[in-house]
Copies of this chain bind each other. A is one copy, B any other.
């Protein structure tokens, strides 16, 4: 490993050997029956009590124990299988870069570093978990994976992982995202995946939704509901999820583990760690290992999640038990949520249009161990465009949320005459999102806001509100 100018690079040998399980260092609310359902199929009885009797009755055990195990106990370090590390070596370790031109453009005394996860063929951090999941599912005898995808980054990553490991793949992609970013669909098809615009006519839940609201733009929760329904019809098929679940967050910690070593190489430790927040895999991937290091060194590092104003689950949501999908077929987990029936306005950061935050990130937030902030689209794209001009790297709209927050902190540092070390994650490139940048440059982006009424409406669909039988 070595520092070359502003780039801090690790060798293939430096690819982390272990993922980091934050449960070793975090008190989470006690697991109860609703939580435990993540491991075992929900019974029809439980579902009936929640008011969603039909859909989940035959939900098969989904997650291979070999994969699940490492993400539930208190074991701090979980070994990465050799086969997965070998796959990681196709593009990891990823670079950490000092954004010196951005600093100069902002005339800030802050030191800005970014970790860049867009160097792989899928173009985002999602491949970290996709390859791990494809490996564990294949080992468990699975032959085809199905998933829902918002912006398409998860779907692209899963299609590539399935292609690499010889599994079939079906992707339900949010219709609005597929229309905005058709290229991601092409990428998936090039990888041999079947791509379905969601809501679709090929599932029951999709047909129902299309009948009720023909022009609906879809949401990740809906796409996941369709994928879940579809996966049950496929022999040796399973539903694979790209964020939220403990094991997904676990896989992503390779990002932060590498970044820790790279910051050491740079001779600094971040005062502020910033990442965008969809369901939380990107934020957790970077921030969790720094949480561990903070505990060890008693550093005062701030961890900040950045979400869109159009989907403010942390800044305006409720900490409650909820489902991960629109139809309520998944097990419930405790999370910051806007309600699983919440459909965010169609902003370009499709990967952040998810109604809830991962349970582990939610617990961290509830306990005051991290912060959250929300931005509108124009402020985000302004930041992304400045980053592109200065660092010659177009961030994905999702990642541009983090950049917005970085810029605000750096400008504040200039005004307050402090010089913090800021680290953020550029989770992916925006080369397939350039139409959104074009709209921004042409002044045509809307800053969607969400009304209190809309949030109240979807929160009214929370299982706790529907069923008196299950206490909060």
A residues near B (Cβ < 8 Å) are 4-5, 12, 86, 89-90, 119-121, 123, 160, 163-164, 182-183, 185-187, 189-192, 385, 388-389, 392-394, 431-432, 434-435, 437-438, 441
Q: Which residues of B contact A5 (CB under 8 A)?
A: 86, 89
Closest 9 CB pairs of A and B: A183-B434, A121-B392, A186-B434, A186-B438, A190-B388, A4-B12, A431-B431, A186-B437, A121-B393
Q: Number of copies of this chain in the oligomer?
A: 2
CA–CA, A182 to B441, complex, Å?
13
Whether B394 contacts A160 by the Cβ 8 Å rule is no
Whether A441 contacts B186 by the Cβ 8 Å rule is yes
* Min CB gap A171→B, angstroms: 15
Whether B441 contacts A190 by the Cβ 8 Å rule is yes
A394 touches which one: B185, B190, B192 (CB < 8 A)? B190
Whether A389 contacts B191 by the Cβ 8 Å rule is yes
Q: Identify 19 residue pairs between A and B in the complex whose beta-carbon atoms are under 8 Å apart, listed by A's number.
A: A4-B89, A5-B89, A119-B119, A120-B392, A123-B431, A160-B392, A163-B389, A182-B435, A183-B435, A186-B441, A187-B394, A187-B431, A190-B385, A190-B389, A190-B434, A190-B437, A191-B388, A191-B389, A191-B392
CA–CA, A435 to B187, complex, Å?
10
CA–CA, A192 to B385, complex, Å?
10
Whether A183 contacts B4 by the Cβ 8 Å rule is no
Most buried by B among A120, A434, A438: A434
CA–CA, A385 to B183, complex, Å?
14
- Nearest to A384 among chain B residues (CB) is B190
Q: Which residues of B contact A187 (CB under 8 A)?
A: 394, 431, 434
Whether B431 contacts A192 by the Cβ 8 Å rule is no
CA–CA, A393 to B182, complex, Å?
18
CA–CA, A392 to B86, complex, Å?
15
Q: Which residues of B contact A441 (CB under 8 A)?
A: 186, 189-190
CA–CA, A83 to B361, complex, Å?
45
Q: Which residues of B contact A164 (CB under 8 A)?
A: 392
Whether A192 contacts B389 by the Cβ 8 Å rule is yes
* Min CB gap A64→B, angstroms: 24
Q: Which residues of B contact A4 (CB under 8 A)?
A: 12, 89
- Nearest to A160 among chain B residues (CB) is B392
Most buried by B among A119, A388, A437: A388
- Nearest to A120 among chain B residues (CB) is B392
Q: Which residues of B contact A388 (CB under 8 A)?
A: 190-191
* Min CB gap A213→B, angstroms: 28
Known: A4-B12, A183-B431, A435-B182. A90 touches B392 (CB 8 A): yes
A431 touches which one: B182, B389, B432, B435 (CB < 8 A)? B432
Most buried by B among A90, A120, A121, A190: A190
CA–CA, A392 to B191, complex, Å?
8
CA–CA, A120 to B437, complex, Å?
19
CA–CA, A164 to B182, complex, Å?
31
* Min CB gap A210→B, angstroms: 24
- Nearest to A161 among chain B residues (CB) is B392
Known: A163-B389, A191-B389, A393-B121. A186 touches B435 (CB 8 A): yes
CA–CA, A234 to B185, complex, Å?
43
* Min CB gap A182→B, angstroms: 7
- Nearest to A5 among chain B residues (CB) is B89
Q: Which residues of B contact A119 (CB under 8 A)?
A: 119
* Min CB gap A125→B, angstroms: 16
CA–CA, A4 to B85, complex, Å?
13
* Min CB gap A157→B, angstroms: 11
Q: Which residues of B contact A86 (CB under 8 A)?
A: 5
CA–CA, A163 to B441, complex, Å?
17
* Min CB gap A456→B, angstroms: 39
> What 6 additional pairs, Cβ within 8 angstroms, besides A182-B438, A186-B438, A190-B388?
A119-B119, A120-B392, A121-B394, A163-B389, A183-B435, A190-B437
Q: Which residues of B contact A89 (CB under 8 A)?
A: 4-5
Q: Which residues of B contact A438 (CB under 8 A)?
A: 182-183, 185-186, 189
CA–CA, A120 to B118, complex, Å?
12
Q: Which residues of B contact A123 (CB under 8 A)?
A: 431
CA–CA, A138 to B161, complex, Å?
45
* Min CB gap A326→B, angstroms: 28
CA–CA, A471 to B132, complex, Å?
68
